[in-house]
Structure formats: C-alpha cells, structure tokens
Structure 1
Amino acid sequence: MENIASSSQRVLSEDEQDKLKKQDQNLVSEFKSVKLEAEAKKNWDLFYKRNDTRFFRDRHWTTREFEELLGIEGKGKKILLEVGCGVGNFLFPLLEENEDLFIYGCDFSPRAVEFVKCDSRFNAERMSVFVSDITKDSLTDFVPEPVDVVSLIFVLSAIHPDKFLQALCSIALVLRPGGVLIFRDYGLYDMAQLRFGRGNKISDNFYVRQDGTRSYFFSVECLKQLVAEAGFDVASCHYVNRRTVNKKEGVDEPRVFVQGKFIRQ
C-alpha cells in the first residue's frame, strides 16, 4: 500500500469517465432524497446496530498525520473535540498516547455514543461524550470550555452538502481563536465514488449507499472555500493518494482522500 500527498486532482481514464457519466442517467428522486435526509440519524443508528464495534479499526495513524494530537506544538493540558466519535476508534488510542489530553466526543448516533460509554477503556475523568447533530445543535451547549483542537475525520461527507457550512460554523464557535481543525475525508474520484452505479447518485459528488447512509467526495477547491466562509485560515489542504493492492486477488485500486489543517481566525 502506497501513500502519496499531492496537490493535484486525480486524472480519470476514459473508462472511469464513462462510469461517472452513467451515474447521471438515473439520479435518486427528490422524494427519496428528502426521505434519506429525514432518516439520516436512524440509518446511522441501524449501521451501528448491525456492525456493533467491529466495523472500523482503531485509528493509530492520526498522530502520525497530525502532530497537534500529541501536544508537540505546546505543553500542558489540551482540550480536543472529536466530531463523529463513532464507537471510539479514534479517541481511545489517542488518550493512551497523550496523558495531558481531555477529549469531548459527539456523534449523530445514540447507539454509537452508548458503545463508547460502555467500553472498558472509558474514563469519565478524561473524556465526555454526547449525542449531537452539528447541523442543528450548538456545540457550546455541551462543551463548556474553549477547545484547542477539533477533529473532523470522515464525518462531513456523511452530511447533506447544503448543511456543510452550518456544520463548520458550529465547529468554529467552540474552537478558541488560533485553535486547529484537523480534517480528512473522501476525495474526488476516490475508488468508492467510481464504484457507485445508476440509482445511487443524489447530486454532484453526493451518493447513497445500500444501507441508506450517504457520502460526499470533496475537491480541495471546494473544501478551501467552505472553511474560509466558516472563519478558518488554511494552513494546509491537499489530496492524499493511496493504492490498495492485493496481488493474490488482482486488486490495484486508487484511493483518494482530502486532508487539511485549518486555523480558527
């Protein structure tokens, strides 16, 4: 498996361009699109009911990518908010690596938050988790102190694009001036985007999976514009290109992510 950071967009082959064109031939109906939005919380709760805590692996890679998580850029206690904490695959490994960190975690799914609270590693003295819809709720109602770092990792893509800016503005309000938003999500022309067939596309770069959960695929330009409108300066923002290789099964597929660090003005 290979990782390459790149500022350039992935170039599609003719076959891949044809796949994207075919997706436009049978878009999700307006009725279904509205229904998916109304049932978003239920669909994510059902996702965790089906998969329990087994679906995602612990994210030990995050401290390699984002040095802020280890407190390298400052000493003393730091406050972090993880938006979209799921079942704790990010927050539990992070607490083990940084003794001076207190973590708030929120998720759309009540079931996911309950999994975190029931985990044997849960420590109420070092973490607080709660259910929140960041497109509607005020995060300051749950987090009573300024936050140094907010993580938004594979979360914004699950939100309707019309609500991206609202979610980012909510995050900006809970960050201290100069605080950091660390971000990674699906990038434009990722393998997962090309795999969608007819009937899965909702709108430009926005798709629904079979289980009713949704995913958006970001360009660097789109993300830079969004965070700027929400009150952030761009410290870094780039594509991360990877290849998933399985020689035994003849698999060699491109993965594309967008990664960034954004500073609260």
Structure 2
Amino acid sequence: MEKDSTERVGANGDIFGHRLKQLTDEEKQRLENQNSRLIPEAKAAKLEREARRHWDIFYKRNETKFFRDRHWTTREFQELINFDPEQQIVYLELGCGVGNMVFPLVEEGFSNFYFYACDFSPRAVEFVKANKLYNESKMKAFTADLTTDDLFENIAEGCVDIASLIFVLSAIQPSSWPQVARVAFRALAPGGILLFRDYGRYDMAQLRFKPGHKIADNFYMRQDGTRSYYFTVEELEKLFTEAGFEILMNTYVQRRTVNFKEGVDVPRIFVQGKYRKPVTSS
C-alpha cells in the first residue's frame, strides 16, 4: 500500500490509508489465472441456497476454536469506551459467530451494556448461549438472517446505540448488501454508530485462491463452501451512504500476521469503517 497524506500508523503497527494496494506483475497474473475456471452459475446458486448449512457445518467442525477473541476492538473503536459510565448502552453484534467480540467486552467489565447478538447459524448461537459468560439478564442471543427483516422479531427498531458488522458482509451475496445495510440502519437509534471491519481488496487471502474458486469479481468460495468478498473503500462508502449513513471513517488497514515459530509472515489488508445514523433521521 502506498503512503499518502492521510496515512497513519496505529498503536499495534497497523497502517491506515485510503489508497488501493498496487499489484506486482506476479500478483496481477495470479488474479488473471483465477479467471481460467470460474464456478458455474448453477453451483453458485446452490452455494447461496445452502449458505446457512455450510456455516452450521463450519461451526460443528470448529466449535469455538477457529476465531480468536477480538480484544482489539476497544483500541480500534473508541466509541465503545467514550461514554458516560452511568449511561446505559444497547449494543448489537450483527453476525456474532460464537461471541468472539461480545465476550471480550463482557470480560472487560462493560457492565452498563446490554448485548444483543445474532447470527445466521443456529449452531453458532447455541455456542454463544453455552458460554460461561452468557448472562440472560444482560444479553440476548438469537438466530437472524440479515438479508431479511427477521432481526426485528427480536429487537425493536431504533433501539441500538452501537452496532457492529465485523467480518460478516464479505460472506454475504453482494446483491443482498443493501438490505443488510438497511437492517443495520433501522436497528440504530438516531446518532447511533455502526462499527465495520472486513476483508480488503487484494488481501493475500484473495491472491491465494486457485482457479475453480472464483464466483464473481472479488467473490470466492472457500474449500468448506463458505464464501468471501474483498472490498474497496469506494464500494463501502457508496453502500452505506445510500443506506442513509454518515461516513465518519472509511479506510484500508494494512497489517502483518506474524508467527515466528512457524515462520509465517503474511501481509493482510482489511477495510474499516465507522458509519453514523444521522440524529435528524426520519
């Protein structure tokens, strides 16, 4: 990623900037090779129909062991800590998985938060409810499909102060993104904030896909049948602006995943955003 006048370095070495990564000739060739064998339309349609089943199988196989708890969120999203401690905050995690974001907040003592946590996978929600930190007086976990309106069978519109959509939108069919953005907008109270993080365009994971895994431009099938999209900041700005949000932050995040023991040093690119529902929203 090239440096520009808006680039900054975070406390943990993450680099934030607005320019798209410039590809090497080798990386361009990798992307071109992916087009030699695309996933047929019939198979792509089947993946969409069976998306819930693939995620349920994923959680059956991995249980709570695959994703790490997200202890970085209070560092990256100051909205989680910059409030009057006497104020009651309603927090909604859209696509909670097994609670890797909610439970670290519980452990950090966010006693004035009431947590809603929903996921597409019933099995993931079962794992949330089985967690020793799950407290029905402070938390409600439930199954919801963000591409429909069924979220509002469990929460009232306009009741949420802070919502998060962390590594969720990339797993959803692109044609459904506007609906997901509208659902988040409707859930938030005026002035409420949506916190966002997901995979960025030309992330190493995207470049590593072999022929036979590409569904459409920048949209791929993993080996386990789950899917992943790789975003630009321009796509996200358009999506959330059209849903009614004000853009507070919308940037690429470049970092390195390093494991010295295993000799792993992988450059990663994410997108990160903070989007606000206007106070005067109708």
Fold equivalence (TM over 0.5): yes
- Stretches of 4+ moved more than 3 A in 1? 245-252
Deviations 1:107-139 (CA, angstroms, capped at 9, x unpaired):
000000001111111100110010000101332
1:111 maps onto 2:123 in alignment? yes
| Structure 2 residue identity aligned to 1:157 | S
1:209 maps onto 2:210 in alignment? no
2:255 alignment partner in structure 1: 242
Higher-RCO chain (CA-CA 8 Å, sequence separation at least 6): 1
| Counterparts of 2:102 and 2:260, CA distance in 1 | 33
> TM-score scaled to structure 1, two decimals?
0.96
Match of 1:64 among 72, 75, 79: 75
| Structure 2 residue identity aligned to 1:104 | Y
1:16 alignment partner in structure 2: 27
1:36 maps onto 2:47 in alignment? yes
Where does structure 1 lack aligned partners over 5 or more consecutive residues? none
Where does structure 2 lack aligned partners over 5 or more consecutive residues? 1-11
1:93 maps onto 2:94 in alignment? no
- TM-fit CA distance, 1:141: 2.1
> TM-score scaled to structure 2, two decimals?
0.90
| Counterparts of 1:161 and 1:214, CA distance in 2 | 11
Deviations 1:183-205 (CA, angstroms, capped at 9, x unpaired):
00000000100010100000011
1:176 maps onto 2:189 in alignment? yes
Secondary structure of the equivalent of 1:41? helix
| Counterparts of 1:121 and 1:181, CA distance in 2 | 24
- TM-fit CA distance, 1:241: 0.3
- TM-fit CA distance, 1:177: 1.1
Secondary structure of the equivalent of 2:19? coil
The question of whether the paired residues in 2 share the 8 Å contact of 1:164 and 1:226 is answered with yes
State the number of aligned residues. Answer: 264
| Counterparts of 1:101 and 1:150, CA distance in 2 | 12
Distance 1:119 1:218, change over 3 A: same
1:129 alignment partner in structure 2: 141
The question of whether the paired residues in 2 share the 8 Å contact of 1:165 and 1:230 is answered with yes
